[in-house]
Amino acid sequence: MREFLSSHQQKESDYLNELTQKLQPLTHLQATEAKILGVEDLPRKLALWKFLGKRVVFTNGCFDIVHRGHITYLLQAAELGDILIVGLNSDASAKRLKGESRPLQDELSRAMVLAALECVSFVLTFDEDTPLELIKAVQPDILVKGSDYKVENIAGAEVVQAKGGKIVTIPFVEGYSTSKVVEKLRQ
């Protein structure tokens, strides 16, 4: 009988230890990495957000060297809803859009920098020239771009508008751009 109780107590102790380990909070690194998603992760998250009545905001870009203009833009985008998803151009996509010398940082590095920002809920990388397919998958309530875009030229605008969503353009912070940062570094 003692052996049985001892064995049972050991199993209970092992179970409690395992449960305690699972309940440990994530490290900052783990929490940041968990914010970088693949498209396959979306269906469950989208269903939960819809159930909870969360407003999903989507924006995108290369975010090669994150600067004050990017931070201001992302903070303002995050204020428009509950969940901010950032579509990040892959290395191949950024190279096609920005030229052979770009991106300066690889996509995982850029994704980590974005995911580390408190205002960014999740980051998804896309390989196309525009985020249209990603926008179709996310089905955001609000689509955000810089004010240099006209609504009719924003990829995915028609998808968002067709479901009753909004398109919002945010003004740039004067004097801040990745190109200007690169130019200054070369001087």
pLDDT tens string 55-104? 999 999 999 999 999 999 999 999 999 999 999 999 999 999 999 989 99
Return all residues near 20 (Cβ < 8 A) that are at least 6 apart. none
> What phi, psi does 166 have (nearest 5°)?
-115, 150
Return all residues near 45 (Cβ < 8 A) that are at least 6 apart. 37, 122
118 CB neighbour count, 10 Å cutoff: 8
Residue with the bigger pLDDT between 175 and 116: it is 116
pLDDT for 3 equals 66
pLDDT for 43 equals 94
Which tokens belong to 183? Answer: 């130019």
pLDDT for 19 equals 65
pLDDT tens string 14-63? 776 776 666 788 899 999 999 999 999 999 999 999 999 999 999 999 99
pLDDT for 170 equals 96
Percent of the chain with pLDDT over 90: 75
> Any idea where the domains of the chain sit in the sequence?
1-26, 35-186
Closest CA to 85 of 144, 28, 29, 127: 144
CA distance 60 to 56: 13
CA distance 155 to 46: 20
Topology annotation, domain 35-186: Rossmann fold (3.40.50)
